[in-house]
A and B are shown apart, each in its own frame.
Chain A
Amino acid sequence: MDHAEALGLIEAYADGELDTARAAAFETHLESCASCREALDAWMAERNAVRSALDLGSAPQALRERIRAATVDATPRRRSAPAWAMQAAALAGVAILSSGATFAVMQTAHQDRIQTLFDATMRAEDPGRRIEIASTDKHTVKPWLDQRLDFAPPVDNFAAQGFPLIGGRLDYVEGRRAAVLVYGRRKHFIDVYLRPSGDAPAPPASADRRGFHLIGWRHAGFDYWAVSDVDASELKALHSLLDSPPPSNASTPGA
């Protein structure tokens, strides 16, 4: 390493950002170059002076207490739809105005439902909202849901396939109560919304919002929607499992 190159690397070296090989080459040059040693010393002294001037110490104790009260000590509450959801709804509205009337009505219902599902999943991001019955045991989750619904959703745990059941909750899709099964996928959650198929045809759906994916399908008398920030391909894998659970997992054998 020559002198000019070493001079140009002082800043990155002092910040600890050179890779091992370059740092070693720099240090080798340093041993033989008094002017670079002096420049590095000066640089470090200046940095220390700046650091001590800019370090304003700790946050006030009163702020610490206010922040605890506003976060971990607060009671969770429902929040309104996020601004992006409003914007998405407005954009969807604009798109619909420009298309044919019948199609528009169908599309609107379809878009509304998708929006509802994204909203519900976003709401579930609030701490404590996602899971009302926390259990990996389908024999705990299923009765909890059955008691609160006028239908009996199939519940399975796919832990062996990498989609462990974590729990469930109740939510609403277009004003009707739906079961939500919550699955884990590495550090992410997947919300699976379930309700009995209505009379209206449920178009197969897939949509994306802000890093969240949704897929919808109909199977064995139920409409399913899986919503999550995991990869869309992982949602499809869970879809396959839900449609044909491996025999050892099946909630109602033979059904």
Chain B
Amino acid sequence: MPERPLDTSEGWVLETRRFERLVLPHLDAAWRLARWLTRNEADAEDLVQEAYVRAWRFFSSLRGDDAKPWLMRIVRNCWYSRARTEAGRGRATSLEDAEAEVEAVLQAQAEPDGAEHRLIRIEDTALVRRAMDGLPDEFREVLVLREVEDMAYRDLAETVGVPIGTVMSRLSRARKLLGERVRRLSEEAGHGSR
């Protein structure tokens, strides 16, 4: 059998250029998502590399030219298949417990003499990051994809693989819980509420 002219063929060169143009530019976004999912830099780098190797291998499964939701989906899928086998999720609240906690917060806020809602401020960065680390995976991923990556609900739904309605309620609850946790951390640290 003749040697396959793999690395010089026209198709190969075109695919390479397309990948460079469409997928490589989202490396920073992939890294930010991975960094929040894994909660540390070393694991985040491994995760991003694994995701990119997969993206490269299955590049033909990308439809259209907007690779961001597609790549983000690969990153989070790699994380979930990892997290199932490794005990990587120990530090975060489970989604179930988080949902219950949000319910309690909502009820407390609905009461007429409920505590005044303390807003997250720009100087709360360290507290926000600590609070974020404790949220369930499902909350962290929608928060980073929406707040940092500015992804539309529709793209979030595609990335996470749930209906848009679920994205909206999950995002809303994630924001509520993050606010509540920041407020609590702030009180513990003696900053007091406004």
The answer to whether A and B interact is yes
Contact present for B147 and A50 (CB under 8 Å): yes
Residues from chain A with a CB closer than 8 A to the CB of B1 are 148, 170, 177
**CA A50 – CA B122 in complex, angstroms?**
7
Nearest Cβ distance between residue B36 and chain A, in whole angstroms?
7
- The total of chain B residues at the interface (CB under 8 A) is 57
| Least CB separation from A144: chain B residue | B2
Contact present for A48 and B128 (CB under 8 Å): no
**CA A170 – CA B4 in complex, angstroms?**
9
**CA A189 – CA B24 in complex, angstroms?**
24
Contact present for A125 and B60 (CB under 8 Å): yes
Nearest Cβ distance between residue A100 and chain B, in whole angstroms?
39
**CA A128 – CA B2 in complex, angstroms?**
16
**CA A126 – CA B168 in complex, angstroms?**
36
Q: Which residues 15-33 in A have Cβ within 8 Å of B in the complex?
A: 15-17
Residues from chain B with a CB closer than 8 A to the CB of A176 are none
Q: Which residues 140-194 in B have Cβ within 8 Å of A in the complex?
A: 143-144, 146-148, 152-153, 168, 172, 175, 178-179
Contact present for B20 and A72 (CB under 8 Å): yes
Contact present for B32 and A49 (CB under 8 Å): no
Residues from chain A with a CB closer than 8 A to the CB of B35 are 56
Most buried by A among B9, B24, B48, B153: B9
CB contact under 8 A between A72 and B124, given known A56-B35, A67-B52, A131-B11: no
Residues from chain A with a CB closer than 8 A to the CB of B48 are 59, 63, 67
Chain A, interface residues (CB within 8 Å), range: 35 or more
Interface stretch of the complex, out of A39-47, A151-159, A215-223, A236-244: A39-47
Contact with B along A60-88 (1 / 0, CB 8 A): 10011011101110111001000000000
The one of B2, B7, B19, B61 that contacts A76, using a Cβ cutoff of 8 Å: B7
Which residues of chain B have a CB within 8 Å of any CB of chain A? 1-2, 4-7, 9-12, 15-16, 19-20, 24, 27-28, 30-32, 35-36, 41, 45, 48-49, 52-53, 55-61, 63, 119-122, 124-125, 128-129, 132, 143-144, 146-148, 152-153, 168, 172, 175, 178-179
List the 10 shortest-distance A-B pairs measured between CB atoms, nearest first. Answer: A128-B12, A59-B31, A53-B128, A127-B15, A71-B56, A53-B125, A131-B11, A134-B10, A125-B60, A49-B122
